[in-house]
Amino acid sequence: MHPCQNRIALRGPSLTFRGDPFQIGDTAALHYEADGLTLVEAGKITGFGDFEQLRSRLDGHQLTTYDNALILPGFIDTHAHYPQVQMMGAYGKQLLDWLNQYTFVTEQQFHDPAHARHVSELFLDQCLRAGTTTASVYCTVHPSSVEAFFEAAKDRDMRMIAGKVLMDRNAPPALCDDARSGYDESEALIRKWHGQGRLSYAITPRFAPSSTPAQLEAAGALWRRYPGTHMQTHISESRDEVDWVRRLFPEHANYLDVYRYYGLTGPRSIFGHAIHLTEPEWRHMADSGSSIAHCPTSNAFLGSGLFNYERALEYPAPVRVGLASDVGAGTSLSMLQTMGAAYKVAQLGHYSLSAPRAFYMATRGAAQALYLDDRIGSIAPGMEADLLVLDLASTPLIDFRMRYCRSIEEALFVQMTLADDRATRAVYIAGKLAYDAKETMAGNNAYALEAQAKKNAG
């Protein structure tokens, strides 16, 4: 094999994190190279730093230089429902009504493997277009929805986490399994897919109200049997939901205590939303090593409430928190737009969320929330080479605005408040170019020209 076929080098302004800005401050955490060089071999990063200091190691590498750009770790989405892409933007309901009117209707279509594969392909392609290289994903109750998703993710060599939703009550019969079948189907999927390539399985009870105590007990038993898997679910997204849990599980002290009782808290557990937590729940989140997926666009869209950044991230016992799109209640797969929404949610809660902290929650912080920070989320030797190249002038307005930025922090803030997936110039998955905006644009233009030619001929 020619050395350039498995050795690449990316040159250009580059940014990663050397620590947690919520704990050590933005300046200490941020690692910015104005003229950076990232060396990659066989899908792993082998060197990162100043170009002049590393240029002697370029021999045998295929060098690509990116101007007016920023090279970052690929974005990480800690909570997304791929089947709900087809219902994004569904008109205004509160959470529980929204689930019944839109979500459950949509998810029943995923018994069809062909439909599941089609939507999986679209979802993953849109992730790449948005610069997202890893996500923790909810499928549906149908095992075929998981099979389709993992097949599509494996084809792209993407590091993905996903699982079959468990529901045995308070949902349409077509979307219900039972405690036994849910366990057996999940176990079969774990044995087939967990650890295959870059794939991980997540045991996925949708939320406490849609599972009986027997199913939650089975989910906890399954996680104990396969402790290397993840566990993902929802918690405290709306006050009505919290009240419903209190009525369904009156013997438990609070919502999180339900999950704790059944062995569903701890490292590699990911709780979506976590808006209306009580102090005992916050303490258990921190003490148990559980993680939160913060979904700002979704919380705003459904009017669910404001996330408590200060309590989650700066308290003496901080919780692991990653950003998330929560598609389809979330209104964009773009983590840039998600960061912009996070800033606005924080402002409404009288908390100032800086750009470095927002970018951290979409990269290294998200990797820590998923317990994958030894593999992804940073640009450093030994890490997997999932990389994003942001175009810093993706629109005329942004191009104009960037001319007046005086620091990298200000430039990051402009990107997270004004940019979207048009800013994705290139994405590398395990060191291979997986998305190139120029090629995509050329393909779109070719399609448009072909369509116009056919129209003219007709």
Residue 290: how many other CB atoms lie within 10 Å: 26
According to the model, what pLDDT value does residue 93 have? Answer: 75
Handedness of CA 230, 176, 221, 271 (dihedral sign): positive
Average pLDDT, the chain: 94
Half-sphere exposure for 87 (CA within 13 Å, toward CB): 24
According to the model, what pLDDT value does residue 99 have? Answer: 86
Residues near 151 by beta carbon (within 8 Å), at least 6 away in sequence: 117, 120
Burial of 213 (0-12, 13-18, 19+ CB in 10 A): middle
Q: Which residue has the higher pLDDT, 321 or 101?
A: 321
CA-to-CA distance for 137 and 146, rounded, in angstroms?
10
Predicted confidence band at 223 (pLDDT cuts at 50, 70, 90)? very high
CATH number for the domain formed by residue range(s) 75-369:
3.20.20.140
According to the model, what pLDDT value does residue 96 have? Answer: 80
According to the model, what pLDDT value does residue 438 have? Answer: 87
3-state secondary structure 181-197: HHHHHHHHHHHHHCCCC
Half-sphere exposure for 321 (CA within 13 Å, toward CB): 30
Q: Could you report the per-residue pLDDT of 122-157, keeping only the tens digit for each?
A: 999 999 999 999 999 999 999 999 999 999 999 999
3-74+378-442 CATH, one of 1.20.1250.20, 3.40.640.10, 1.10.630.10, 2.30.40.10: 2.30.40.10
Mean pLDDT of 157-168: 98
CA-to-CA distance for 121 and 113, rounded, in angstroms?
12
According to the model, what pLDDT value does residue 444 have? Answer: 53
Q: Before 328, cis peptide (omega within 30)?
A: yes
- pTM score: 0.95
Residue ranges of the alpha helices (H) in 131-228? Answer: 143-155, 179-193, 213-225
- DSSP, collapsed to helix, strand or coil, labels residue 431 as coil
Which amino acid, 227? P
**Which sequence spans correspond to the domains of the chain?**
3-74+378-442, 75-369
Best CA proximity match to 75, nearest among 353, 421, 438, 440: 421
Examine the pLDDT at 3 and tell me if it is beyond 60: no
Q: Dig out the tokens for 401 from the structure.
A: 């605005």
Q: Could you report the per-residue pLDDT of 50-64, keeping only the tens digit for each?
A: 999 999 999 999 999
According to the model, what pLDDT value does residue 421 have? Answer: 98
Q: Could you report the per-residue pLDDT of 239-249, keeping only the tens digit for each?
A: 999 999 999 99
Q: Could you report the per-residue pLDDT of 291-340, keeping only the tens digit for each?
A: 999 999 999 999 999 999 999 998 788 999 999 999 988 899 999 999 99
Is there a shared CATH topology between the 3-74+378-442 domain and the 75-369 domain? no
CA dihedral (30, 79, 238, 277) in degrees, to 10, reads: -50
Phi, psi (degrees; rounded to nearest 5) at 336: -65, -45
Q: Dig out the tokens for 384 from the structure.
A: 């997997």
Of the chain, the percentage scoring pLDDT greater than 90 comes to 88
DSSP one-letter string for 246-257:
HHH-TTSSSHHH
Predicted confidence band at 5 (pLDDT cuts at 50, 70, 90)? low
Strand partners, 412: none
